[in-house]
Amino acid sequence: MQTENTNSKNVWLLVIVASLGYFVDIYDLLLFAIVRVKSLTDIGVLAERTRETGEFVMNIQMAGLLIGGILWGIIGDKFGRIKVLFGSILLYSIANVINGFVQDVPSYAIIRFIAGIGLAGELGAGITLVSETMSKDKRGYGTMVVAVVGVLGAVAANLVAKHYNWRTAYFVGGGLGFLLLLLRMGTFESGMFTHVKESSVVRGGFKLIFNSKERFLKYLYCILVGIPLWYVIGILIAQSPEIGKAIGAKETLTAGAGIMYSYIGISVGDLLASLFAQLTKSRRLTIFVFLLLSLGTVIFYLNYKGLTENSFIWISFVMGLGVGYWATFVTIASEQFGTNIRATVTTTAPNFVRGSLIPITFVFEFFNKHFGIINACYIVMILVTVISLFALSQLKETFNKDLDYLEE
């Protein structure tokens, strides 16, 4: 009985570490979007160029996430999930401290690229560890805690950026990461990985994904399911000052406040989505409902007349709630594949979703140029929602699926 209690405490310690890791991950990931205008003008970017320059720096950061997702995913399957937790936190913490000293756009972009590589590893490793360590009927609760606690990092980022200089905000992010490394000492490796490590089975890499059409398509569909979330955050919220102006807002909207309240909404949405999945025993149904909810909230946002900063805060919360299926999305991706490539999939899939902001931005700018910013918002939202619904229809239900198996 004592052993069971000890194991339970160890598992929940792992959940707490993964949650706090994701908290710092989200803090650092969104900090640039929050301090975009202030930081860029401080280093000499003209006010009318902050939107385009901000898109450039954000895309460079997302490119780092794409590359880092691949690197950390392979490392996680070859050498262990714990090593990814340690390495990724260390890298993005160092990068964010250095980021506080940047003086020009090129160095800003380079440091955000390095930070992006570091930020790519934590969530996938944490979700993989939690999924493989908790019982199959309870792991949804574990990933729910990780997501709910984690996304509140956006709230912390906005509060710190609001009360302190943007450079200080980056120093705080780096410091939080170093503190987190101390907690990491109490974590342990996944038993499923330890068992696989002792065998001769091929681990990690994309060969096992790409050498099977079925596995490749399943992997692609997992990624496509998540893309509306980063369109909503990376375009509709991050560019809210410009979008608000186009729809006739009474005040200049603040992207930082929008991001903070949208992530509070995502946190609540993650809680509701996870509970709904546990109740219905269906992650597919949960994501389907939230995709439709997300589309509805965006249409409401773009049609809101007389928008004020106050009403924008509530709309941001509602839009965040609509895309609050992130934990369910990452969990369903983790559950689709065997232990020997699970870290690769779980780490790369959310980072490819984050990285999808790069092509989405190009598509958005194309429609913006030809049809105006509001019509572009509509067109791209409908496009990403249709793509995600189709991808979801191609995935199998994974609730209560036994994860102790290999991909041959």
Q: Which two tokens stand for residue 371?
A: 């049809």
The pLDDT assigned to 6 comes to 42
Q: Which two tokens stand for residue 314?
A: 């509530």
The pLDDT assigned to 55 comes to 84
Are 218 and 230 in contact, with CB atoms under 8 Å apart?
Answer: no
Q: What is the mean pLDDT of each run of 10 residues along the chain (408 residues)?
A: 49 82 87 88 86 87 88 84 85 93 94 93 81 78 83 86 93 91 67 63 71 90 94 91 89 85 89 91 95 96 88 94 90 86 85 86 94 95 97 91 73
- The one-character DSSP state at 303 is T
Are 157 and 30 in contact, with CB atoms under 8 Å apart?
Answer: yes
The contacts of residue 395 (CB under 8 Å, 6+ apart) are 218, 221, 222, 225, 284, 332, 336
- The one-character DSSP state at 235 is I
The pLDDT assigned to 155 comes to 84
The pLDDT assigned to 4 comes to 40
Task: Specify the length of the chain in residues.
Answer: 408
What span, in angstroms and rounded, lies between the C-alpha atoms of 301 and 320? Answer: 12
The highest-level CATH class for domain 2-184+207-393 is mainly alpha
| DSSP element (H, E) containing 98 | helix 81-99
Q: Which two tokens stand for residue 92?
A: 């993005």
The pLDDT assigned to 129 comes to 81
Q: Where are the domains of the chain?
A: 2-184+207-393
Indicate the pTM of the whole model: 0.79
DSSP letters, 339-401, are: TTTHHHHHHHHHHHHHHTHHHHHHHHHHHHHHH-HHHHHHHHHHHHHHHHHHHHHTSPP-TT-
How far CA 75 is from CA of 22, 125, 156, 165, 298, in Å, comes to: 19, 10, 30, 36, 38
